[in-house]
């Protein structure tokens, strides 16, 4: 099944623009009367029939709508984007495929990347959502300074993945079915002051195991540990 992303829904009609339109009409060669599946990224899976094709958009009539439950519990990952952008894009892709709820990029003292093209990030996440046949597009915020980020209300349990704490493994500290916020530091790691600051805000320092992981790998490892414990 091919899945398309539709941002523009009008009652019983869906309009695809730009990249989604080109993918459907040019790449997939859909014709009037063909049926496709679409999602709005908010849980809806729609079956629709192609009714009109214009130069820059295509219009579909919605035939059926199914509501898909989102993953519970919610997993939020706060992460310092990597210097090599391709590695961070890999993280975005895999996190969406596995089922993350929210991604919060931040800049800390040892960060080597302080800017992100949010439109590019969302484009990668949309592609990953479609490829994995998910109907929920995770949230991603603008990159922000760690010290300025407000974490209140995001999760019941909070963890900071910090290598020296090998005795406190995430898999043994996490309690199942809790919304969780996981912090992943930059390639240079968190400073002791940053760890202390997060601990003062209710974060528990934990380890992801005995090996040292790259930032992007650590984010995926943490997400998979939580999903495994929740049987997702």
Strands 13-17 and 8-10: antiparallel
Mean pLDDT for all residues in the chain? 92
Mean pLDDT across 192-197: 94
User: 53 is in which domain, residue-wise?
Assistant: 3-67
Mean pLDDT across 45-61: 93
Please say which residue of 50, 67, 84 terminates a domain: 67
185 in the same domain as 133: yes
191 in the same domain as 89: yes
137 in the same domain as 47: no
110 in the same domain as 28: no
200 in the same domain as 143: yes
Phi, psi of 94 (to 5 degrees): -70, -35
Here the CATH number for the domain that contains residue 26 is 2.40.240.20
54 in the same domain as 141: no
Q: Give the model's confidence band at 9: pLDDT under 50 very low, under 70 low, under 90 confident, else very high.
A: confident
Tell if the pTM clears 0.75, that is, is over it.
yes
Q: Give the model's confidence band at 53: pLDDT under 50 very low, under 70 low, under 90 confident, else very high.
A: very high
186 in the same domain as 164: yes
Strands 44-53 and 35-39: antiparallel
Report d(CA 29, CA 6) in Å as an integer.
Answer: 18
Please say which residue of 20, 42, 67 terminates a domain: 67
Mean pLDDT across 208-220: 92
Name the token pair of 215.
Answer: 């930032």
221 in the same domain as 174: yes
pLDDT at 97: 95
Q: How many structural domains does the chain have?
A: 2
Least Cα distance to 183 among 105, 83, 85, 101 occurs for 105
* Own/partner long-range contacts of 81-84 (Cβ < 8 Å, ≥24 apart): 81/105, 81/111, 81/113, 81/116, 81/143, 82/112, 82/113, 82/186, 82/187, 82/214, 82/215, 82/216, 83/112, 83/113, 83/187
Q: Examine the pLDDT at 165 and tell me if it is beyond 80.
A: no
Sign of CA dihedral 159, 165, 166, 168: negative
204 in the same domain as 122: yes
């Amino acid at each position: 099944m091919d899945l398309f992303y539709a941002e523009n829904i009008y009652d019983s009609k869906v309009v695809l623009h730009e990249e989604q339109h080109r993918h459907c009409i040019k790449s997939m060669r859909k014709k009037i009367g063909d049926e496709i599946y679409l999602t709005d990224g908010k849980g809806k899976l729609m079956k629709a029939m192609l009714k009109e094709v214009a130069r820059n958009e295509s219009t579909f009539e919605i035939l059926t709508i199914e509501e898909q439950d989102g993953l519970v519990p919610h997993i939020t990952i706060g992460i310092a984007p990597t210097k090599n952008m391709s590695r961070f894009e890999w993280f975005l892709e895999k996190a969406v495929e596995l089922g993350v709820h929210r991604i919060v990029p931040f800049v800390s003292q040892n960060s080597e990347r302080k800017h992100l093209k949010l439109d590019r990030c969302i484009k990668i996440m949309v592609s990953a959502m479609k490829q994995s046949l998910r109907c929920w597009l995770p949230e991603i915020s603008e990159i922000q300074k760690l010290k300025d980020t407000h974490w209140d209300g995001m999760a019941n349990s909070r963890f900071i993945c910090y290598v020296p704490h090998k005795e406190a493994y995430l898999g043994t500290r996490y309690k199942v079915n809790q919304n969780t916020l996981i912090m992943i530091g930059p390639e240079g790691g968190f400073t002791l002051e940053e760890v202390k600051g997060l601990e003062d805000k209710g974060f528990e320092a934990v380890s992801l195991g005995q090996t040292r992981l790259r930032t992007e790998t650590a984010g995926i490892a943490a997400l998979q540990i939580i999903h495994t414990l929740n049987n997702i």
